[in-house]
Structure 1
Amino acid sequence: MANGQQIAEENLAAFMAWSTSKSDDDFRGYVHRGKLKRSEIATECGFGKSALTQNPAIRSALENLENELRAAGILPPLLASLPAGQRLEPALRDTEAKQRRQDGQRLNFLEQENAALRAELQAAKQMLGRHALITEFLEETGRMPR
């Protein structure tokens, strides 16, 4: 059975392997409120979220990683590091994007249904025209055409 120091070393090795296996685009998927999302990191590394805060080696490695990502422009800068008087504007969220996407899907569905109904109506009109000719012939001759 491993003692606490061995587990801490294993967790650090898992974190380092995880951090080196990710690209800049991968890290963008972990950004949450200006930091990397701790719960997802812990889950993927296979240890508890508390290891990120209680293990000093992992904590410093995570801080270094976040600082590198901030320098690369992947993470936004910290509010404390901004010059006085400059405010970081929160990203404007498009609140109507979901509704527009749903409207677009609904419009597409309705257009397809409309095209299908037009084709069905055209076929029905052709059948009606054919039956109108037969009815007219029956009225004039009293006989059924072959």
Structure 2
Amino acid sequence: MEEKYMTDKELIKEAIKAREYAYVPYSNFPVGAAILTKSGKVYRGCNIECASYSGTNCAERTAIFKAISEGDKEIEAISVIGDMESYTYPCGICRQVITEFGSNIKVIVGKSENEFKVHTISELLPHAFSPDDLKKNGGKK
């Protein structure tokens, strides 16, 4: 499959579209995410809340799980947008899940399609526990 090029701004626009589908009856805080895989495909996700709060899923993990469930495991970048007044960064659990698929994944955090910051996941979660740690300690992945 031919790899497609997508700008950071275009990936933020995809996260904005995803945010429209957020199911947030409790927090009223919609978040959208979009990931770009090395195959050039984009997967969108939104946060989905549940009355038993522990069943809630973040937008970032929704997008990642969609890609993985389709067999697309090589993530290049992820964009995240929540509140249009401030930057909404991935939570700790989402950072750990992103790290599972690479330490150099680009994380684009936006307020709008024109105002965003770019990091790598290793900048947002330094010294993360990764699949390599399991290999070093005799575990199997």
TM-score (norm 2): 0.24
TM-score (norm 1): 0.24
Decide which structure has the larger Cα Rg and report it: 1
More helix by share: 1
